[in-house]
Structure 1
Amino acid sequence: MAAAACQHPDPCFTPQSRVTDLRVLGISVDPPDPVADLATGTVEPVRLRALIVDPQGSRGTYQVSWALCVAATDNPGCSGAAVVATNPEWRRDSSVELRVPPGLIAAAVAADPLRGFGGMRVLAELRVEGAKPQAATTPIIFTQKLAQPRNQPPVMDGLRFTPQGESTLEAPPPPATMEIVVAQPTGLRPVLAPGAMEEYDTVDLAGHTVHLQERIRYSFYVTPGLNIGRILLRSVGGSVVSFGNGSDVEADEPPPGTPDPPGGLILLEAVERGGGQGTLWIVARDSRGATSWLEQPVSSVEVDPNCLGPPPLRGCAQLDFGCF
């Protein structure tokens, strides 16, 4: 299967889904709906975690710092804000507990045109030495009263995958690897824990109570040697997994009762000839600000006889999207 030429001024761009450098893929806040009583100055502490990855995976050690600030339209991050926590040896299982000052929450409410309607938002910024971009942010959304039941992260229990033309399989729990075939598009379907897609009551701008269903969006990322995207049907050269303009990395959880797409929510393809090892990350975010993630090791197997054996491998089509 040959690669498709990219419709882009520079056909050599790297898709957003492919991790080729050190970066932050997600930040979680626990609890997602902390309570702040500005009248008494009582603020519930929060615990922050981060998914920091590089082309080798997420098992590195990173130098990080955290800052808090009031979000501003002319300053998307926390540039110039005081650092509230540092860790020179942050690892994948690290976390930090922060106690946000009530004065900062009050300042955030004062700067908000809606004066905290829908949540009092303080921005948390994570800076990782050597990352590109160096900083990532997430809002900490405080509520004035405890919601019942509380918002829970959209935890994924597992992953189903469907090789093109074959039956759906269950990915083995990590650290075991999910095995796919090189050049065979494979559909991916995250499996949410029971009750992860929650219903809740809130108040609209008119002051009326409304009952809503959460929405959940998945973002997919892979190490080099793997592609994430949609199927591109071609009249010449067969079908390939295309990542469009490089931003096609997301898919939404279908509403309850909706049949699943037969090919999964998004496609994965191994493009490293000869096979290899890689990693797939799925970050799930709900519409109320909660985040979780799943890391799945992936191994790819080469089955094309033209691509087996010692070089030169004549007739072995290059799969990776490159320059043509």
Structure 2
Amino acid sequence: MLQVIDLYVKYSMGKKIKVNAINDVSFSLDKGDVLGIIGETGSGKTTLASAIMRMLPDTAEVKGKIMLDNLDLLAISKKEFRTKIRWKKISIIPQYSMNALNPIKRVGKELTEIIMEHEGVSEEEAVNRVLSLFKDLNLPEDVFFKYPDELSGGQRQRVVIASALLLNPEVVIADEPTTALDVINQARVLNLLRNKVISASRILIYITHDIAVVAGLANKLMTLYAGRIMEIGSSEKMFKNPLHPYTQGLLSSVPDISNGKPVHISYIKGDPPDLTKEIKGCPFYPRCPLAMDICKEEFPEPVQIDDRLVYCHAVRKDAK
């Protein structure tokens, strides 16, 4: 089980300026859960993933708990996290693949070293495991002997995906994993995640702007806005009947081509808030069509409605 409890992340920009990137985020995932996280750019999705992986910069202040099978990942040393948790228990497919690979190491050598260091297997076995993943991802064998800058963007992305799956971790975080891929290789990656992660009853956190992918992959959905959860719960119910105005806005912005004819695309008017300034109430208040006076003053307590939590005063009022 993975639990994120009362998580706060602030970035320091100079002595006085702080960016409130994640604000009081809590959720839990069981084995086999696939959580899709959606939200506008700057909503905190990547920061949340980086906090779980302990990959935040030194300027970040982190409070709260991140529990993996009753172990607080924020309480152990960096060395223990690196040797016992990262890649072996939790891995990440980062958004920018080039930054994840060592530019002066051949791809195959880097990946085989990861396996050998953590599992103590022979070099031959490690090489075979890497090549097997390459085959699943439609990567030619000669990629094994190349440097990262000799690969195309799509090849680099698939190499990074392979590295995240090498040790069969309990939790895989995929941050826009198919961004640089064509539709055929996108399908390969999604099938690999289904076969290697979901079918093995592991936990997958899938961060994306592609709402259609989440709809076919995730059993849970989270909408994140200005570092806060707006709605979280059953993806099926959230897609069929989104309750939070922000969730409604995100889903209604997806093009609908029913019967072969595109319909009008709506969008959320206005801009996200400045996270360097303190937000007293709900951060979505200035853009919300259901905003009330209380929304400006208090962030709402969650209301539970059919397998989901909704952080909205208007929804709480209607639920009473």
Same fold (TM > 0.5): no
TM value normalised by structure 2: 0.26
CA radius of gyration, larger in:
1
Structure in which a larger fraction of residues adopt strand:
1
